[in-house]
Amino acid sequence: MQPDINLALKKSSLITPFFVTSGNSREISLKLLPEARAFSVDKALKAAELLQTAGLSSIALFEYGAEKDSTGSMAFNASSAVTRTASLLRREFPGLFIISDLCFCQYTSHGECGVLNGTAVDNDESLKLAGRLAIQYCEAGVHALMPSGMLDGAAHYIRSLLNDRGYTDVSIFNQTAKFASSLFGPFRRAAQSHETQPCKSSYQIGIGCRAQAMKQIEIDQCSGADVALIKPAIFNLDIISSASESFELPLAAFCTSGEHALYFANGCDDEALRSFIFALERVMRAGAGSIFTYAAPYIARYLQ
């Protein structure tokens, strides 16, 4: 019997999270994320070239080891690793699709995704700061922004701001349905983002809140988001499947650091890679159009 669905896991479906850091000639192995590395801006060029040679054409920039304070002010440093790398890669690799993470948890001393009012994230104040950072990244040349702090109204606010400033062609990949999970742990530790007063569970979605996830995607569809991200990926096949049947909005799934670690704790050998591809094909079958995965450089050699 012929399959009635094309699994379509291709290199072009994969987006590679790409860690950048300050300094020169630095290439740091992120022990908690097997096979992942952070690059200083000068080294990022060569690393990006290798990704393109492997047939990968989309990356998502994250900062590693940034200086931190209570408001995440170092994000606004025009010579931050993310800003400089985005600018350099845009100039040197016209065929590379560049997404920048749009959040503050890599820059805040408390590890939360925005500025605090007491012990809670101040949504509206954090949105204003995210807007300012969005413009900085647009000026650097990114093709897409990825708000990942689950701020209420993020897609609408950022879309309106970008349109007002003439960045109508910059896409928004909103982390729309981000479920609170310990599966984010290896990334947070790798990015040296430590919550001192954990409150992420107050703005990320609870495991049982399926209706809330669907509502968030519906809101994004009406708010100018170009892609809705669901995260974790492999553990949310039911949400991906329901969303793909209910909405026209393209979906992406983000394989968290914890999912990555489950498969690759003992390295990226053939068996681990094939098992992981098996899982990613199910994520595609559920309805994701693209997948963020730290393993993209390693699985690319198995794909068209």
| Binding-site member from 48, 89, 99, 113 for Zn ion (CB under 5 A) | 113
Q: Which of 20, 59, 89, 105 binds Zn ion (CB under 5 A)?
A: 105
Measured CA to CA, the distance from residue 133 to residue 135 in angstroms comes to 5
Considering the complex, state which of residue 40 and residue 148 has its C-beta at the smaller distance from Zn ion. Answer: 148
User: Could you give the C-alpha distances from 35 to 28, 99, 222, 245, 271, in angstroms and in order?
Assistant: 10, 21, 38, 35, 15
User: Known catalytic residue: 11?
Assistant: no
Beta carbon of residue 188, minimum distance to Zn ion (angstroms, whole number): 9
Q: Is 10 a catalytic residue?
A: no
By CB under 5 A, what part of segment 253-272 binds Zn ion? none
Query: Residues 149-178: x/- map of binding to Zn ion (CB under 5 A)?
Result: x-----------------------------
Q: Residue 50 CB, nearest distance to Zn ion (Å)?
A: 28
Tokens representing 144 are 């897409």
Residue 102: closest CA among 83, 120, 78: 83
The owner of tokens 């290896």 is 186
103 binds Zn ion (CB under 5 A): yes
Q: Compare residues 65 and 297 and give the one whose CB is closer to Zn ion.
A: 65
11, 68, 178, 200: which one is catalytic? 178
Which CB atom, from 73 or from 241, has the smaller least distance to Zn ion? 73
Of 20-28, 40-48, 87-95, 101-109, the window that binds Zn ion (rule: CB under 5 A) is 101-109
**Shortest Cβ 203–Zn ion spacing (Å):** 10
Of 14-22, 112-120, 219-227, 266-274, the window that binds Zn ion (rule: CB under 5 A) is 112-120
Residues in 130-149 at the binding interface with Zn ion, rule: CB under 5 A: 149
Question: Cβ closer to Zn ion: 21 or 244?
Answer: 21
> In whole angstroms, how close is the CB of 268 to Zn ion at the nearest point?
27
**Nearer of residues 47 and 113 to Zn ion, judged by Cβ:** 113
Closest CA relative to residue 152, chosen from 106, 232, 216, 195:
216
Please name the residues in contact with 251: beta carbons below 8 A apart, sequence gap of 6 or more: 217, 227, 228, 229, 230, 240, 243, 244, 287, 288, 289
Measured distance CA(58)–CA(75) in Å, rounded? 22
Provide the minimum distance between the beta carbon of 211 and Zn ion in the complex, in angstroms, as a whole number.
24
Positions marked active-site: 178, 231
- Residues near Zn ion (CB under 5 A) are 103, 105, 113, 149
